[in-house]
Amino acid sequence: MTAFQSHARRSVLITGASSGIGLATAHRLLDRGWRVFAAARRLEAMEPLRSRGAELLSLDLADQDSCHQLADAVSCEVGALDALVNNAGYADTGPVETMSIECARAMFEVNVFGLIGLTQMLLPPMRERRRGRIVNLSSIAGRFVTPGAGWYGASKHALEGISDALRLELQGFGVQVVLVEPGLIRTGFEAVSEVSLRQQSTDPVWGPMMRRVAASWADGFRRGSSPELVARTIASALETARPKPRYRCGKDSEALVLQRLIPTELWDALVRQRMIG
């Protein structure tokens, strides 16, 4: 057992805990004896976690008041968290040319500004105690983008950059920052995007590309990895004595290695062949 593991009743806040990776992570950490604060917009979807002992909190990352209320509630309960898992986020799809700036800005508000804003509220007690761990859920899209997901990829690139800065800044204060970069995971991502993909498929300019994108995603996610795989990765990142700065996991995450090794022109050709034709 590591020094980090030895603390009795370790506390963790998991955002986006109502489904997918967040829900699987909450169950995993409950199994391992953590005190779990589970946060999401849909409290009713987290009732199974309450029955297992999790403490449920309402959270809308796009609402500053909601973030402040959650941070105050956690502070009253535990003072400083042992760990924060920033999992909440969402994806909207569409060509860069046609996605409205309002839609793109809303995605950044949740995936970047809301996430980091909540972290800013919860971080001071961890820093003052000189112990804690922050896990930010990125994606393989945080390292490379594909057609039809440019704005989402940009939000994850931004999260990667700010996480790198945060890791360096907090290193001397005993707070460790970790990025988890899942590949294709069976979380229902493609189903959530189905409406917008269907609308875009009729666009006279971008319709053919978006139909190829939709087909590629449907095939990829159908063969994707389980959320439990990511939950195990997160648990490992939280409980090891010396976590790595980045963990990749799940289907197609090995593409992160390939993409760094081959020329950009060749990579572009491979992506175009698969997703544009």
- Catalytic residue among 34, 152, 189, 206, which? 152
Spatial distance between the Cα atoms of 160 and 6, rounded to a whole number of angstroms:
30
Task: Tell me which residue of 264, 91, 85 sits closest to 189, measured CA to CA.
Answer: 91
247 is a catalytic site residue? no
CA 105: distance to chain centroid? 17
193 to 142, 190, 209, 254: CA distances (angstroms): 18, 5, 15, 24
Beta carbons within 8 Å of 110's beta carbon, 6+ residues apart: 61, 62, 88, 89, 90
- Among all residues, which ones are annotated catalytic? 152
